[in-house]
Amino acid sequence: DNTNVVYKINCNDCDMTYVGQTKRKLRTRLKEHKNDLKKSNNNSVVSKHQLDSNHVMDWDRTVILDNEPVYLKRSISEMIHIKNQCNGLNLQGDTDKLPQIYFSIITNTHHDSNTNTHS
């Protein structure tokens, strides 16, 4: 099972995307995202998007963008992928810790270099 990954979930109903990272099994993290919908005090941007717009995320085609066992490197990879999204659900604060030096290498081409899907 996939662990230590940066992943992207696309919305089935529009072009919004969400980028996250986990050291645990991706399947476990996705299950948590899905269970957030059932919570009344839910603050997840993924759940809010689904509830507010009556949209559904494409859970079955979650894309693995990177595989990195070192937390700091995985976190930086996540922030770079968040910055590269065209229509991201992620909060602006999700990239506050990205060092300025990385801004020059962010291509903003909005193409994913790795399109492995999780089934």
User: String of b and e for 72-106 (b: at least 16 CB within 10 Å)?
Assistant: eebebbbbbbbbbbeebbbeeebbeebeeeeeeee
Coil/strand/helix, residue 78: helix
In a domain, 62, yes or no: yes
Beta bridge partners of 11: 57
Q: Give pLDDT, residue 107.
A: 63
By the 10 Å C-beta count (0-12 exposed, 13-18 middle, 19+ buried), 41 is classed as exposed
pLDDT tens-digit readout, 29-50: 999 999 998 887 877 899 999 9
Share of the chain above pLDDT 90, in %: 70
pLDDT tens-digit readout, 101-113: 888 777 654 444 4
Domain span at residue 23 reads: 3-107
Question: Are the C-beta atoms of residues 46 and 89 closer than 8 Å to each other?
Answer: yes
pTM of the model: 0.85
Indicate the average pLDDT of the chain.
Answer: 88
Rounded to an integer, the average pLDDT of 43-62 is: 94
Q: Give pLDDT, residue 21.
A: 98
| Amino acid making up residue 95 | T
CATH value at residue 51: 3.40.1440
| Residue where the block lists tokens 């968040």 | 82
In a domain, 81, yes or no: yes
In a domain, 118, yes or no: no
Coil/strand/helix, residue 60: helix
Q: Give pLDDT, residue 40.
A: 77
Question: Are the C-beta atoms of residues 59 and 34 closer than 8 Å to each other?
Answer: yes
